[in-house]
A = this chain, B = another copy of it.
Amino acid sequence: MKTERKTILLTNDDGIDAEGIYSLYRTFKKDGRFDLRVVAPDKESSAVGHAITVFRPISVIKNYQEGEFFGYAVDGTPADCVKLAIGAILDRPPDLLISGINRGPNMGENIIYSGTVSAATEGTVCGVSSIALSADDLQNPDYSYASGFALRMATKILENGGLPGGTLLNINIPSLEKDKIKGVKLTVQSDIGFKDNFVKRQDPRGRDYYWMDGVFLERNVSEDSDYNAVKNGYVSVTPIHYDMTDYKSFDHFKGWNMEKLK
Q: A residues bordering B, Cβ < 8 Å?
A: 44, 46-55, 57-61, 77, 79-80, 83-84, 86-88, 109, 111-113, 118, 121, 125-126, 149, 152-153, 156, 160, 164, 166-167, 170, 181, 183-186, 188-189, 193, 196-198, 200-201, 203, 207-212, 235, 237-247, 249-250, 252-254, 256, 258-262
Report Cα–Cα, A162/B86, bound state, in Å.
42
Query: With A88-B210, A208-B60, A252-B164 in contact, is A83–B196 under 8 Å at CB?
Result: yes
Interface centre among A50, A149, A210, A237 (most CB of B within 10 A): A210
Interface contacts beyond A53-B212, A88-B210: sample of 17 additional A-B pairs, CB < 8 Å, sorted by A: A48-B49, A49-B50, A50-B113, A57-B201, A57-B210, A84-B198, A84-B210, A87-B196, A87-B198, A112-B118, A149-B262, A160-B256, A167-B246, A167-B249, A183-B259, A189-B244, A240-B246
Nearest B residue to A252 via CB reads B164
A-B residue pairs in contact (CB < 8 Å), sample of 14:
A44-B55, A47-B52, A49-B50, A49-B51, A49-B77, A50-B112, A52-B212, A88-B198, A164-B252, A167-B246, A189-B243, A189-B245, A235-B261, A239-B250
On chain B, the residues within 8 Å of A197 by CB distance are 87
Contact between chains at A51 and B51 (CB < 8 Å): yes
Identify A164's interface contact among B185, B201, B247, B249, CB under 8 A: B249
Complex contacts, A183 vs chain B, CB 8 Å: 259, 262
Q: Chain B residues with Cβ under 8 A from A164's Cβ?
A: 249, 252
Contact A262 B60 (CB under 8 A): no
Within the complex, the shortest CB–CB distance from A89 to chain B, in Å, comes to 9
Per the bound structure, the CA–CA distance linking A121 and B43 in Å amounts to 27
Report how far A48 CA is from B258 CA in the complex, Å. Answer: 30
Q: Which residue of B lies closest to A211 (CB)?
A: B57
Find out whether the CB atom of B250 lies under 8 angstroms from the CB atom of A152: no
Q: How far is the CB of A109 from chain B (nearest CB, A)?
A: 6
Cα A197 to Cα B243 in complex, Å, equals: 24
* Among B49, B207, B238, contact of A49 (Cβ-Cβ < 8 Å): B49
Instruction: Tell whether, in the assembled complex, residue B88 and residue A200 are in contact, meaning their CB atoms are under 8 Å apart.
Output: yes
In the assembly, what is the distance between CA of A256 and CA of B243, in Å? 23
Q: Which 4 A-B pairs have the closest CB atoms?
A: A49-B50, A49-B49, A240-B244, A241-B246
Expressed in whole angstroms, the minimum distance between the Cβ of A76 and any Cβ of chain B is 9
Most buried by B among A46, A47, A166: A47
The answer to whether B46 touches A54, judged by C-beta atoms less than 8 angstroms apart, is yes
